[in-house]
Amino acid sequence: AQKITQTQPGMFVQEKEAVTLDCTYDTSDQSYGLFWYKQPSSGEMIFLIYQGSYDEQNATEGRYSLNFQKARKSANLVISASQLGDSAMYFCAMIGSSGYSTLTFGKGTMLLVSP
């Protein structure tokens, strides 16, 4: 079984600062993928970034980067230079190599960016 844990129910950050959203995972699979999604108040889940378990480099996508520490089973999302539009729920998710090909989600972190 796979499990995603996001321990921060809410985070506050000031505009233009960087923020790290925590995600730890548990799986017995050797091959897996980790995803981060953003869910603004409109409700749509927006794909942000992906990290494969065998990727040697940390993934980066614009202002988003993933701090992947495989031994610690953590995949924290770093948002640099926060913007007001970054205020949203953020979900960490994973897909494993066993079982069905669906995403297992954490409970999410609400990020609020203040001016």
Partner 1 sequence: GAGVSQSPSNKVTEKGKDVELRCDPISGHTALYWYRQSLGQGLEFLIYFQGNSAPDKSGLPSDRFSAERTGGSVSTLTIQRTQQEDSAVYLCASSPRVSLAGSKRPQYFGPGTRLLVL
Pair 34, 94: CB distance under 8 Å:
yes
If DSSP codes are grouped into helix, strand and coil, which group holds residue 47?
strand
Residue 108 found at the interface with partner 1 (CB under 8 A): yes
Residue 28 found at the interface with partner 1 (CB under 8 A): no
How far apart, in whole angstroms, are the C-alpha atoms of residue 50 and residue 61? 9
How far apart are CB 12 and partner 1 at their closest, in Å?
A: 18
Which runs of consecutive H residues, i.e. helices, occur in the chain?
none
Kindly report the number of other CB atoms within 10 A of residue 89's CB atom. 17
Distance between start and end Cα atoms, the chain:
41
Q: Scanning residues 68 to 97, which ones bind partner 1 (CB under 8 A)?
A: 91, 93, 95-97
User: Given the complex with partner 1, which of 12 and 47 has the nearer CB atom?
Assistant: 47
How far apart are CB 82 and partner 1 at their closest, in Å?
A: 23
How far apart are CB 42 and partner 1 at their closest, in Å?
A: 7
Interacting residue ranges for partner 1, rule: CB under 8 A = 4, 29, 31-33, 35, 37, 42-47, 50, 52-54, 91, 93, 95-97, 100-108
